[in-house]
Amino acid sequence: MTDDTPRTTVRMTVNGEDVETTFGTHKTLLEVLREELGLTGTKHGCELGECGACAVEVDGKPILSCLLMAAECDGAKVETVEGLMDDARLHPLQEAFADLGAAQCGYCTPGFLMTAKSLLDANPKATRAEVKEALSGCLCRCTGYQQIFDAVLSAADKMGRA
């Protein structure tokens, strides 16, 4: 990046807090979260939309931060894994992922968590097939997915009962 690289300023809400940030216009939301805002919980594995590691929630929907130009996010409401806890309490999805072995290396985990959160917010009674479908934009090379499905369903169950 040089001095004449075009820059853009956006205001957005990230994990419930208003932020204003200026960055090279070529950056995607992924780069802005990690490099400008220091939110490195959001991961990257391809930067081309092919792995799902960078999934975050924007305006209530799971999207890929590596494909979204950050300039497009002016006014957006962004949720990342850093905002998933309720103060010091783990989200039920986080509890379930931890207890049931759904995070092995943990690199894909933030993307899965944010995707699962969006799913359960919209569809608290999601079936196993719906969970599979909703998570089908995230790749995991460690778990074989089974324990991830189990964790999402178990969290859904707990959240339904709470």
Ligand X SMILES: Cc1cc2nc3c(=O)[nH]c(=O)nc-3n(C[C@H](O)[C@H](O)[C@H](O)COP(=O)(O)OP(=O)(O)OC[C@H]3O[C@@H](n4cnc5c(N)ncnc54)[C@H](O)[C@@H]3O)c2cc1C
The site partner of 41 among ligand X, ligand FES, another protein, none (C-beta below 5 to 8 Å per kind) is another protein
Cα dist from 95 to 33, 87, 100, 113, whole Å: 25, 14, 9, 11
Count of alpha carbons within 13 angstroms of residue 125, beta-carbon side: 0
Please list every residue from 82 through 141 that binds ligand FES, using CB under 6 A.
Answer: 103-109, 140-141
Residue 100 touches another protein, criterion: CB under 8 A: yes
The residue from 11, 22, 25, 50 that contacts ligand FES (CB under 6 A) is 50
Is there binding between residue 33 and another protein (CB under 8 A)? Answer: no
144 binds ligand FES (CB under 6 A): no
- Measured from the CB of residue 43, what is the shortest distance to another protein in angstroms? 7
CB 152 within 8 A of CB 116: yes
Yes or no: say if 72 and 32 are a contact pair by the CB < 8 Å rule: no
The minimum distance between CB 1 and ligand FES, in angstroms, equals: 20
In angstroms, the CA 98 to CA 34 distance is 24
Residue of 22, 24, 2 whose CA lies nearest to 12: 22
60 is an interface residue for ligand X by CB under 6 A: no
Total chain residues near ligand X (CB under 6 A): 2
